[in-house]
């Protein structure tokens, strides 16, 4: 296992579309393990493979539910098969530091995917977990929270990043 570098906006690799995993083999399992280590080190509650520069449809999400035995969910090739209701919170992202954007999402979703063992799973979720899963799946299409921000907010954020980079 290794902690990988998390790419940050405006790295162009974050806007690329990922493709499906053909088989959950040892190489994929090793990527998943690195993602888990990287997410908890950050720390964050979700991570998409795109964020460590791997263009594969893999996301991991921590439900933050302390009563659960394993709050970690690994989704390979996730597809949302059902969505209903509406929910929005101020979302942050490890790849877009120091920015919060309120985003309209579905309140409840059903997701089909493969787990870390390569077994097909169907997950019904609501609350923070549903939002986190939708956020991570966005990454697989190259969509970031900045893309939901207003033109003004996005430009202001870009200016701030550039200033910070100049100071380095």
Just list the catalytic residues.
136
Q: Which residues partner with 121 through β-bridges?
A: 113
Q: Which residues contact 162 (CB under 8 A, 6 or more apart)?
A: none
Nearer to Ni ion (CB atom), residue 93 or residue 111:
93
In the chain, what are the helix, strand and coil shares in percent, each to the nearest 5?
Answer: 35, 30, 35
C-beta separation of 115 from 74 below 8 A = yes
Binding site for Ni ion (CB under 5 A): 93
- Name the closest residue to Ni ion (Cβ): 93
Q: How far apart, in whole angstroms, are the C-alpha atoms of residue 90 and residue 37? A: 25
């Amino acid at each position: 296992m290794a902690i990988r570098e998390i790419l940050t906006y405006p790295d162009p690799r974050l806007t690329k579309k990922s493709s499906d995993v053909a088989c959950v083999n040892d190489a994929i399992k090793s990527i998943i393990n690195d993602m888990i280590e990287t997410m908890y080190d950050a720390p964050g509650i979700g991570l998409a493979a795109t964020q460590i520069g791997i263009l594969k449809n893999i996301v991991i999400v921590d439900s933050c539910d302390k009563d659960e035995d394993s709050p970690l969910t690994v989704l390979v090739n996730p597809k949302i098969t059902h969505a209903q209701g509406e929910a929005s919170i101020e979302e942050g992202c490890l790849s877009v530091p120091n920015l919060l954007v309120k985003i309209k999402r579905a309140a409840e979703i059903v997701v089909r995917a493969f787990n870390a063992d390569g077994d097909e799973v169907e997950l019904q979720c609501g609350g923070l977990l549903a939002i986190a899963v939708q956020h991570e799946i966005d990454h697989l299409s190259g969509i970031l929270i900045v893309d939901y921000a207003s033109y003004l907010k996005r430009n202001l954020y870009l200016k701030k990043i550039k200033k910070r980079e100049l100071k380095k």
